[in-house]
Amino acid sequence: MTIRSELYNQTLFMNTSTNTLKTYISDVSDFPKQGIIFKDITTLLENPQAVKLCLELLLSDLTDKNIDKVVAIEARGFFFGMLLAQALNVPFVPVRKPRKLPRKVITQSFDLEYGSDTLELHEDAINPGDKVLIHDDVLATGGTAQAVCKMVESLGGQIVQCNFIMKLDFLDGAKKLEPHPIYAAVSY
């Protein structure tokens, strides 16, 4: 097989898989508030084949990337964050809401598309020089992932990539994560 045909086959797999994965993500109108169309991944999680496909897509962009730890964001980021850490054979590091982590933490507040929030990370979870993959379910306005990037970098971690199941392009959250590489299995 030539490099050209291998790239073609990989592109075909990605396009077909991305379109298939979208069929497992449901739209819920007016959640969490009026006027919002929420992208619900619980329908994806209910299907083992869809979970497998999603994990394959998320891993497909990580070949040849040296990752020491997967940092995932509460709560929906945990589903695939743990699977990614297992597949990569690296530690899983949870980022949680305030007062949920038992050891000494660092804290970062941020704005959301409909409010504000605060996240915490164990201060001993990231060592200087750790190469980190950050994972969450969705990239919307980018505030959540940006807050996690700030915490990881404040501890000396190097962000290899920010990974998402889906990216909402119309909200332009990717700009807040520059210059970090971003990958999303599907985009809307």
Tens of pLDDT, residues 6-30: 544 455 445 678 889 999 999 999 9
The per-residue pLDDT for 113 is 65
Four-CA torsion 49, 51, 52, 54, nearest 10 degrees? 120
The per-residue pLDDT for 8 is 46
Task: Assign 115 a pLDDT band (cuts: 50, 70, 90).
Answer: confident
Of 165, 111, 178, the C-alpha closest to 138 is 165
pLDDT (average), residues 30-44: 92
Of these residues, 4, 6, 103, 113, which one is catalytic? 113
| Residue of 63 and 127 predicted with greater confidence | 127
Q: Contact at 8 Å (CB) between 135 and 72?
A: yes
The per-residue pLDDT for 48 is 95
Angle at 28 between CA 45 and CA 133, to 5 degrees: 45
Q: Catalytic: 96?
A: no
Of 77, 69, 75, 76, the C-alpha closest to 93 is 69
Q: Alpha-carbon distance 163 to 71, whole Å?
A: 10
The per-residue pLDDT for 12 is 45
Of 97, 68, 84, the C-alpha closest to 135 is 84
Taking only the tens place, the pLDDT of each residue in 163-185 is: 999 999 999 999 999 999 999 99
Taking only the tens place, the pLDDT of each residue in 121-178 is: 999 999 999 999 999 999 999 999 999 999 999 999 999 999 999 999 999 999 999 9
CATH topology of domain 3-187: Rossmann fold (3.40.50)
For all residues of the chain together, what is the average pLDDT? Answer: 91
Locate 128 and state its tokens.
């200087």
Of these residues, 46, 56, 74, 76, which one is catalytic? 76
Residue 4 has pLDDT above 70, yes or no: no
Q: Alpha-carbon distance 101 to 79, whole Å?
A: 18
Locate 153 and state its tokens.
């970098």
The per-residue pLDDT for 65 is 94
Looking at the chain, the whole-number percentage of residues with pLDDT higher than 90 is: 82
Of 78, 148, 98, 91, the C-alpha closest to 125 is 91
Predicted model pTM = 0.89
Task: Assign 36 a pLDDT band (cuts: 50, 70, 90).
Answer: confident
Q: Catalytic: 4?
A: no
Q: Contact at 8 Å (CB) between 154 and 125?
A: no
The per-residue pLDDT for 7 is 45
Q: Where are the domains of the chain?
A: 3-187
Angle at 89 between CA 108 and CA 1, to 5 degrees: 115
For tokens 């919002």, what's the residue? 36
